[in-house]
Amino acid sequence: MGQNVSKSQNWTDYLMDAFNMGRQTYGQATVDRYTLAPMQNNWNYSYYGDVFLGSDLQYLQVIWDTGSGNFLVRSSFCTNCSNDRSSEPWFDVETTTSIVVTSDEDSTTYISGDTLEGFLVYDDVCPLADRDSCAEGFRFVAIHTQAGIDGQLAGVLGMWSGNSPSLDQEEMFMNKMVETSLIDKNIFSFYLTGVDGDSYIDFGEPNPAAMSDPADLVYMDVIDDTPFWTEYVTGIRFETGVDSNGDLTYESYSIPASKSETDSGSSCIIGPTKYINTIRDKIVA
């Protein structure tokens, strides 16, 4: 990233001031691009983002998850959720007038082993409290039985846009945003910071204002015959310190090309034991 920001100035203000972007076009809506979809760092474990559901734009927090491809959200159908909505928020299917509830059910089991189950419904899903940002009539799962999510986190919104014909394209949020002309390119970008920083998700064409130099970007090809964001990893690099010139120093290791899934919904590193042990030993040291 490499930009200098004063302690009294957050990244959102800096980007707006430095590049004088003003108000930008996000699909059909005129909104503040850099405050479009703020995210909160959950103690470096995951990032929560805002979402607004239904005709009444009910506010909830979800994980924008690159490790899955559908949207599941805690709802008033839930039979094992807390009745205290202030401590465990849920989507109230009774107050939205735009919902269509089906008798079909769906479930997802995550890498943690936790399973979320619910009814398939159709309703508006919006990354901003603005109806012009809504993916209208989007199909998702209103959870009736939950495991593994609690507190203020209300669900998981998968970001996969699909390169496998076997996957259900109708449940993919990014595809719906393109289909309804909210964005013209099926692209999203994360700007991720520490616990005290301002993180956000940006939809559509990547924003170069958040990059120290776009030419430094490294692109990794997604493997076509696998689901989700799977690519080949060929090495591991650790930051080891700073040299006499003030430049960062690194320690690098090569490994045989291994398939790896990039998952923004987890802080776990999972892989062959000998490689993971090297990472573990460096972290512990």
Q: What is the CATH number of domain 11-210?
A: 2.40.70.10
Least confident residue range of 55-59, 103-107, 255-259: 255-259
Q: Where are the domains of the chain?
A: 11-210, 218-284
Instruction: Please state, in angstroms and rounded to a whole number, the distance separating the CA atoms of residues 37 and 49.
Output: 7
Token pair of 255, please? 């490994």
pLDDT digit string (tens) for 158-179?
Answer: 888 776 666 677 888 888 888 8
End-to-end CA distance of the chain: 26
As a whole-number percent, the residues of the chain with pLDDT over 90 amount to: 23
Instruction: Please state, in angstroms and rounded to a whole number, the distance separating the CA atoms of residues 106 and 97.
Output: 22
Instruction: Please state, in angstroms and rounded to a whole number, the distance separating the CA atoms of residues 90 and 82.
Output: 9
Instruction: Please state, in angstroms and rounded to a whole number, the distance separating the CA atoms of residues 4 and 18.
Output: 11
pLDDT digit string (tens) for 175-210?
Answer: 888 888 888 888 888 888 888 877 888 888 777 777
- Phi, psi (5° rounding) for residue 96? -90, 135
- Work out whether strand 58-65 and strand 46-53 pair parallel, antiparallel, or are unpaired: antiparallel
Residue 239 has pLDDT above 90, yes or no: no
Instruction: Please state, in angstroms and rounded to a whole number, the distance separating the CA atoms of residues 67 and 168.
Output: 15
Q: Is the dihedral of CA 184, 185, 188, 189 positive or negative?
A: negative
